[in-house]
Amino acid sequence: MSIPEAARAAFTEAYGEEAAGLWAAPGRVNLIGEHTDYNDGFVLPFALPQRTVAAAGPAPDGKWSVCSTLAPDPVVFGVTRPGEVTGWGAYVAGVVWALTEAGFEVPPARIALASDVPLGSGLSSSAALESAVLTALIDLGGLDVPLERRPAIAQRAENDYVGAPTGILDQSASIRCQEGHALFLDCRSYAIEQIPFDLAGQGLAILVINSNAPHQHVDGEYGARRKSCEAAASALGVPALRDVSVAELAGALEKLGDDVLRRRARHIVTENQRVLDTVALLHEGRVREIGPLLTASHDSMRDDFEITVDQVDTAVQAALTAGAHGARMTGGGFGGCVLALIDADRAESTAAAVADAYAQKGFTAPTSWVATAGPGAARI
């Protein structure tokens, strides 16, 4: 059964009637620009074909209900405040709450979810869920919420209802990406540019390698990185690390007394520049040449930001040894996925090389596939 069919069937099973419609929102791969979002910096994600589908319809009982193929018994809630709905239902209650807080009247709805976005793998399964629900509720309610406002509403659900201190990367990717494009986003102004991302035309591909080492955001490490960045910006007297350029970096590092803060700041400042350099190369059609930037991004995450783990470092190294033009961890870190820019005919051999390296280290086997840039959230 396809994911849309599964969502539709789950709806009928739970609520005994047909859904009014189906809305889909994708997971994402971030090509480059990691942890830059909450530093007012730059990111460059593209949407995955894997997506979360919400089958939804109006609710006669004045409440919101949500179930999924993984949890068929609906979570039911009325008007709530943060903390009142917990567990996975908080992502949905959070969206209703954030929309309401943004001044919209959200009609009660019934929702059933199905998804093929791998969970907890750094591919934004939670943003896909929030964005699918948000898009469904907006359409069902006939709410006039401009596309550019939607990511911040979904982010608010995650930050202030679920309690995960994430930036705006994932929700922007899920909502604003376009098929065949990477999304260049300025996380300060929310300005975007859709960058054509035609790898096949150049004989290239992005191999996504799921390290199958679980990652978690609602934990101390992500929040600690965010605090360090804020502390570094404040010590430097700038609103955010976005305001430090590569040319100013050496002077800025001298001003920071603490070695950890120095390394965190160096990652953000150099990573922002790598995003800009990647965009410039893509504009010129020099896709293969972004490889070294991807690898430099990984090295910076490993050595300066300290968010990689052995499984992802091993995958990056094995992919590079197998001939990848560049490779890096994608997403928040501490596990999750690696992406490798490869010649299109080397997907199998690269995946096999990574699997061999994992077997030698006794790691759980990785899962690899070629990712193409899919569409953003929409009614389907």
Q: Which residues are catalytic?
A: 170
C-alpha 98: how far from its chain's center? 19
- 110: which 2 tokens? 């019934």
- Verify binding: residue 366, ligand GAF, rule CB under 6 A: no
In whole angstroms, give the CA distance from residue 316 to residue 238: 34
- Cβ neighbours, 10 Å, residue 230: 15
Q: Say if strands 192-196 and 181-186 run parallel, antiparallel, or are unpaired.
A: antiparallel
Q: Check binding of 304 to ligand GAF (CB under 6 A).
A: no
Q: Which of residues 156-195 bind ligand GAF (CB under 6 A)?
A: 166-167, 169-170
Residue 41 makes contact with ligand GAF by CB under 6 A: no
CA–CA separation, 250 vs 174, rounded Å? 36
CB of 205 to ligand GAF, least distance (A): 22
**Cα–Cα dist 268/242, whole Å:** 8
Tell me the C-alpha distance between 172 and 124, whole Å.
11
Distance between CA atoms of 96 and 180, rounded to whole angstroms?
Answer: 31
34 binds ligand GAF (CB under 6 A): yes
Give the C-alpha distances (Å, rounded to integers) separating 212 from 30, 60, 149, 312, 342.
18, 42, 33, 9, 21
Six token digits for residue 230: 């804020």
Contacts of 102 (CB under 8 A, 6+ apart): 145, 149, 153, 156
CA 96 – CA 154 distance, rounded (Å): 9
Residue choice 118, 151, 180, 332 for contact with ligand GAF (CB under 6 A): 332
Token output for 121: 């793998």
Q: Which of 8, 35, 242, 298 binds ligand GAF (CB under 6 A)?
A: 35
In the bound complex, what is the minimum distance in angstroms from residue 328's beta carbon to ligand GAF? Answer: 11
Residue 297 CB, shortest distance to ligand GAF, in Å, is 10
Note the Cα 343 to chain centre separation in Å. Answer: 25
> Toward ligand GAF, which CB reaches closer, 118 or 332?
332
Residue 331 sits in the site that holds ligand GAF (CB under 6 A): yes
Q: How far is the CB of 215 from ligand GAF (least distance, A)?
A: 9
Report, in Å, the least distance between residue 2 CB and ligand GAF.
27
Residues 109, 137: Cα–Cα separation, whole Å: 7
Q: Give the distance, in angstroms, between the CA of residue 251 and the centroid of all CA atoms in the same chain.
A: 33
Number of residues that bind ligand GAF (CB under 6 A): 11
What is the nearest approach in angstroms of ligand GAF to the Cβ of residue 105? 28
In the complex, which residues of this chain contact ligand GAF (CB under 6 A)? 30, 34-35, 37-38, 166-167, 169-170, 331-332
